Amino acid sequence: MYRILAKTTLTPVTTEYLIEAPEVARQAKAGQFVVLRVHEQGERIPLTIADYDREAGTITVVAQEIGSSTLRLKSLEVGDSLASFTGPLGRPTEIEPDGTVVLVGGGLGIAPIYPICRTLREAGNHVIAIIGARSGELLFWEDKMREVTDELIVVTDDGSYARKALVTEPLKELLESREIDRVWGIGPAIMMKFVTLTTKPYGVETIVSLNSIMVDGTGMCGACRVVVGGRTFFACVDGPEFDGHQVDWDLLLSRQRYYVEEEQRALELFQQSSQQAESQETSRS
């Protein structure tokens, strides 16, 4: 169960996995996420559902190799199985025939906006997507995104591919020139913060996905607590999508820094143990 059916390298640090998970696929909806473990004692990794096929019984997830757990995931091959694959979790995206909508995907955030774009378009919306990355080599799914959008804008921070700009620049241009009914922003927390700062003067509802800090995915551990509109919520059960204009971004970013530091320590230990294992293997041979 939970076999890896396909594995595709998208960028030097990003990998797409097609997972056999029929029970999850039957119930999955855009905006939801899964929590997987590489092995029985492994860390729980939350990943937004990037695609699902109910007939084939498969779920697609995209992971960035930024820590020890995602590096272990990367080491698995087609045919290997995951220890667990729990989902779908969280509340799905609220899909309505709004009119013209803009979805902004930054970096890894490109993957989760894909099914949302598709579902919004099926509901009759005019879908504009803005996707961006630090450089061209970190950009992925451009062709897939064109299939589920009416308009696609591609940018890179350094200008190595497409237009040189931050994702907020074309977003502001759209807000100034078009009537935009709703905006989604998914990506790094700092990017989502500036997306909401860009849309706020125009009074456009802006939805963000806060699934980056999670552990158990059921609301029991409290790791994913966020303050929205002055109230405390748990991103895993109350979200992961929230009104971006109501999020306490300073608090969220400060908590994220702590988790990044802890993950960096874990990564260093993982790399040390891997080097020791390689050294021992070399000595035996």
What are 218-259's pLDDT values in tens digits?
A: 677 777 889 999 999 999 899 999 999 999 999 998 877 755
What is the value of pTM for the model shown? 0.88
pLDDT tens column, 201-221: 999 999 999 976 676 676 777
pLDDT of residue 241: 96
Q: Which residue has the higher pLDDT, 63 or 276?
A: 63
- Binned at pLDDT 50, 70 and 90, residue 278 comes out as low
pLDDT at 254: 84
Q: What is the pLDDT of residue 175?
A: 98
Asked whether the predicted pLDDT for residue 145 surpasses 70, the reply is yes
* pLDDT value at 114 more than 50: yes
For residue 212, the model assigns a pLDDT of 62
Which residues are CB-contacts of 165 (< 8 A; sequence separation ≥ 6)?
132, 155, 156, 157
For 89-109, the pLDDT digits (tens) are: 999 999 999 899 999 999 999
The pLDDT of residue 221: 74
Q: How confident is the model at residue 284 (pLDDT cuts 50, 70, 90)?
A: low
Tell me what pLDDT residue 283 has: 59
pLDDT at 275 over 90: no
pLDDT value for 244: 98
- Domains, the chain, in order of start with CATH, read 4-89 (2.40.30.10), 100-208 (3.40.50.80)
Averaged confidence pLDDT in the chain: 90
State the pLDDT at residue 246. Answer: 98
pLDDT higher than 80, residue 135: yes
List pLDDT tens digits, range 149-194: 999 999 999 999 999 999 999 999 999 999 999 999 999 999 999 9
**Is 36 a residue whose pLDDT tops 70?**
yes
Confidence of residue 272 (pLDDT cuts 50, 70, 90): low
